[in-house]
A and B are shown apart, each in its own frame.
Chain A
Amino acid sequence: MSYTINHLSELEAEAIFVMREVAAQFEKPAILFSGGKDSILLTHLAKKAFFPAKIPFPLVHIDTGHNFTETIEFRDYLVKTLDAKLIVGSVQEAIDKGLAIEEKGANASRNVAQIPALLKAIEDHQFDALMGGARRDEEKARAKERFFSHRDEFGQWDPKNQRPELWNIFNGKKHFGEHFRVFPISNWTELDVWQYIAKENIELPKTYYSHVRPCVERNGTILAVTEHVQPREGEEVKDMRIRFRTMGDATITGAYKSDADTIEKIIQEVAAARETERGNRADDKRSETAMEDRKKEGYF
């Protein structure tokens, strides 16, 4: 008898361990819920970690107002199924109150404007730990992120002054007003996530699967035409068979032409992919260190 477990079970065990540490070490922890597959995965892991009890974390959604309708519908459905509490932080409200500034110009997005809305939600509800679905394989600044990532009283990340993280010992000690961002699936890759979703039969919004919808091509990226993305002069609206690899704002999330309408086909597609999943995210393409710069300010 060989006492080993496979890589998915080991990643699951690690994520569950981290979530239980969060529940034990913090007073007011929450899950940052974006509506994307990684945060849906977090809720699934939380359910397994605390079964048969309910998940001991509310879901916090920072709503840019630029979401896909499917994302919001799925969010509400999931919250009901989990019998969890949902807290919504509104970017529109932050803009109205002058906490955030609406970007202007052709490629404006509300990505950066999420930061003040998030920090306000943290202050209003006095969260001391926020779990997110960020993974180290996504982006180069995230490759250096800890499981337990310390934030000062301004919500800032200081990449040069991170706490060393040894073995499976997580130091969540902090001063009043500081908080932690915690990333239980740090060590998962995109392929691991999909394999696990298949293994556990996790339900996802339909937008992850191949479907036909009206789209435009803009700067080499396919965008779905929605209330927030309207065709500009010279752009032709075409029905395309597409799917999304990540779900961000409708204004910045590029779609991929795909026939993958089942999870098995998606896994095959991901395994053969030659671009990272964030390769089509306009928010990361702004500069070489776009993610690091936003993270320092308090981004996810």
Chain B
Amino acid sequence: MSKQEEIFNAESYEKMELLRFTTAGSVDDGKSTLIGRLLYDSKSIFEDQMEAVKTSSERRGDENINLALVTDGLKSEREQGITIDVAYRYFSTPKRKFIIADTPGHIQYTRNMVTGASTANLAIILVDARHGVVEQTKRHSLIASLLGIPHVVICINKMDLVDWSEESFNQIKNDYKQFASKLNVKDVNFIPISALLGDNVVNESENMNWYKGSTLMYHLENVHIANDHNHIDSRFPVQTVIRPHSDEYHDYRGYAGRVAGGIFKKGDDITVLPSGFTSKIKEVETAGTPLEEAYSPMSITMTLEDNIDVSRGDMIVRTGNMPEISQDIDAMVCWMDEKNPIRINGKYTLIHTSRNCRCIIKEVVYKMDVNNLHKLEDDKEIRLNDIGRIRLRTTQPIFFDAYNRNRITGSFILVDEASNVTVGACMIRS
């Protein structure tokens, strides 16, 4: 029986969880081989895809079937043999469904890595066992830390090329731990692998008996992700108001949105921001079916006991647990504009949850050297792919939590007012 058949036959899919992970890497570090191996060993590459990859490999004159071609989609990427954009890949095992955000690893694609990392539960960082912790390892770790990815797996790859040496593995592990003490990553695991030969990817290695930990696949299937969402601070940004205007639902006013934090249930005392009006929750429902409780990342409709004014951009919170409310924001930014650097005193549109307003950049506090975490206080020009700390002021107050407390209410984007392009990804500091 194939793995895919088991997924159905086990009837486990009712309990299957979704895990989103990101992989960053560049040419030759084995990232494509690793993804190819995960897809192949979980039987997620279809025959016609394999056939297409074989044909292209032959056309390009590659000696073996080039698994990198499974992951490269756009014409220019195939021509140049590199990944430019974020590509999303899917596979499942009987336990979990996985979404891979596959991103390029070079410094000029930092913004793509940030994009892929923004929704990930877990990051896989590949380290070449021959080279140990290098600049790229540090850069990828910084991004994972900055974007608040809860789980990081350091895959020490190409163990076959260092004679499966435990000493090499431990050396790299220690070097990494020393460097990572400066970062904010809660859960780090180290796995020695050979993506090429398959050791410790899906199947346990026979070459490294000294390693007692789990394989990468086992870890992906079992890492505890239930606490990745904030279930403490109740936050409900209103997306839209549902008013049916029908005879049956004449006075119905439902507030539609996705829970961004905490737990909401019938009878809870709530406060609406910015108005400050208070009420009680009458019902929490999905498509007319009442729910006992609603929590992130559920999309729900909420009705209130009182007929108060609530519209898109408002936030419903539990009375007694307020977010921060301010017009002055201190945030880390990753700049994404190809044409212009960030403009001090420049005005941008800010999009935060379901709320839009304008803002003005007051100050660049520092720029960060993404390769070594140094703060550059003399060079404050933030250009494409740069990461730095900024202060800005908004036209209206926004309701937020620190990013390290809530990734939804703690993040916002900046949009160029002339081109409408997304130019900045921001994380609010505590």
Q: A194: nearest residue on chain B (CB-CB)? A: B8
A20 and B78 in contact (CB under 8 A), knowing A9-B298, A12-B299, A267-B8?
no
Partner of B297, one of A10, A49, A273: A10
In the docked arrangement, what's the CA distance between A228 and B407, Å?
53
Partner of B299, one of A13, A169, A289: A13
The residues of A that contact B111 with a CB separation of less than 8 Å are 164
Per DSSP, chain B at the interface is: mixed
In the docked arrangement, what's the CA distance between A87 and B240, Å?
25
Taken residue by residue from 130 to 164, chain A's Cβ proximity to chain B (1 for < 8 Å, 0 otherwise) reads as: 00000011001101100000000000000110111
In the docked arrangement, what's the CA distance between A144 and B73, Å?
7
Which of A62-70, A72-80, A110-118, A171-179 is found at the contact surface with chain B? A171-179
Partner of A13, one of B248, B258, B336, B420: B258
A143 and B73 in contact (CB under 8 A), knowing A3-B229, A279-B48, A288-B52?
yes
The residues of B that contact A17 with a CB separation of less than 8 Å are 239, 258, 299
Q: B112: nearest residue on chain A (CB-CB)? A: A164
A20 and B47 in contact (CB under 8 A), knowing A47-B287, A289-B75, A292-B75?
no
The residues of A that contact B229 with a CB separation of less than 8 Å are 3
Whether B297 pairs with A271 at a CB distance below 8 angstroms is no
Whether B16 pairs with A52 at a CB distance below 8 angstroms is no
Restricting to B232-260, which residues have a CB under 8 Å from any CB of A?
A: 239-240, 242-246, 248-249, 252, 254, 256-258
Restricting to A241-300, which residues have a CB under 8 Å from any CB of B?
A: 267-268, 271-276, 279, 288-289, 292
Whether B88 pairs with A173 at a CB distance below 8 angstroms is no
In the docked arrangement, what's the CA distance between A162 and B301, Å?
32
Q: B55: nearest residue on chain A (CB-CB)? A: A288
Taken residue by residue from 1 to 37, chain A's Cβ proximity to chain B (1 for < 8 Å, 0 otherwise) reads as: 0111111111111101100110110000000000000
A275 and B299 in contact (CB under 8 A), knowing A6-B16, A10-B18, A136-B90?
no
In the docked arrangement, what's the CA distance between A5 and B49, Å?
31
The residues of B that contact A164 with a CB separation of less than 8 Å are 111-112, 114-115, 336, 422, 425
Whether A20 pairs with B256 at a CB distance below 8 angstroms is yes
The residues of A that contact B13 with a CB separation of less than 8 Å are 6-8, 195
- In the complex, what's the smallest C-beta–C-beta distance from B2 to chain A, in angstroms? 6
Q: B20: nearest residue on chain A (CB-CB)? A: A187
Number of cross-chain contacts by CB at 8 Å: 193
- B408 is an interface residue with CB less than 8 A from chain A: yes
The residues of A that contact B18 with a CB separation of less than 8 Å are 6-7, 10-11
Whether A168 pairs with B75 at a CB distance below 8 angstroms is no
In the docked arrangement, what's the CA distance between A271 and B288, Å?
32
- A108 is an interface residue with CB less than 8 A from chain B: no
Whether B5 pairs with A3 at a CB distance below 8 angstroms is no
Partner of B46, one of A14, A165, A276: A276
In the docked arrangement, what's the CA distance between A187 and B248, Å?
35
- A192 is an interface residue with CB less than 8 A from chain B: yes
- A106 is an interface residue with CB less than 8 A from chain B: no
- In the complex, what's the smallest C-beta–C-beta distance from B90 to chain A, in angstroms? 5
Whether A187 pairs with B297 at a CB distance below 8 angstroms is no
Whether A168 pairs with B74 at a CB distance below 8 angstroms is no
Whether A166 pairs with B88 at a CB distance below 8 angstroms is no
- B282 is an interface residue with CB less than 8 A from chain A: no
Restricting to A160-217, which residues have a CB under 8 Å from any CB of B?
A: 160, 162-169, 171, 173-175, 186-187, 189, 191-192, 195
- B183 is an interface residue with CB less than 8 A from chain A: no
- In the complex, what's the smallest C-beta–C-beta distance from A127 to chain B, in angstroms? 18
Whether B240 pairs with A23 at a CB distance below 8 angstroms is yes
Taken residue by residue from 277 to 317, chain B's Cβ proximity to chain A (1 for < 8 Å, 0 otherwise) reads as: 00000000011100001010111010000000000100000
- In the complex, what's the smallest C-beta–C-beta distance from A158 to chain B, in angstroms? 11
Whether B74 pairs with A141 at a CB distance below 8 angstroms is yes
The residues of A that contact B7 with a CB separation of less than 8 Å are 191, 271
Restricting to B413-430, which residues have a CB under 8 Å from any CB of A?
A: 413, 415, 420-422, 425
Partner of B249, one of A12, A24, A52, A288: A52
A276 and B297 in contact (CB under 8 A), knowing A53-B243, A136-B90?
no
The residues of A that contact B411 with a CB separation of less than 8 Å are 166-167, 169
Partner of B85, one of A144, A267, A279: A144
The residues of B that contact A273 with a CB separation of less than 8 Å are 4, 46
- In the complex, what's the smallest C-beta–C-beta distance from A11 to chain B, in angstroms? 7
- B84 is an interface residue with CB less than 8 A from chain A: yes
In the docked arrangement, what's the CA distance between A195 and B9, Å?
12
Whether B243 pairs with A141 at a CB distance below 8 angstroms is no
Partner of A173, one of B92, B256, B298, B415: B415
The residues of A that contact B413 with a CB separation of less than 8 Å are 166, 169, 171
Taken residue by residue from 81 to 117, chain B's Cβ proximity to chain A (1 for < 8 Å, 0 otherwise) reads as: 0001111111010001101000000000001101100
Whether A24 pairs with B297 at a CB distance below 8 angstroms is no
A173 and B349 in contact (CB under 8 A), knowing A3-B263, A272-B4?
yes
What are 8 sample pairs from A and B whose C-beta atoms fall under 8 A apart? A3-B226, A3-B229, A6-B16, A48-B286, A159-B74, A171-B422, A271-B7, A279-B46
**Contacts A11-B18, A189-B92 supplied; 15 other A-B pairs, CB < 8 Å:** A3-B293, A6-B14, A6-B16, A7-B13, A9-B298, A13-B297, A50-B242, A51-B301, A52-B288, A136-B88, A165-B422, A166-B114, A166-B413, A166-B425, A189-B97
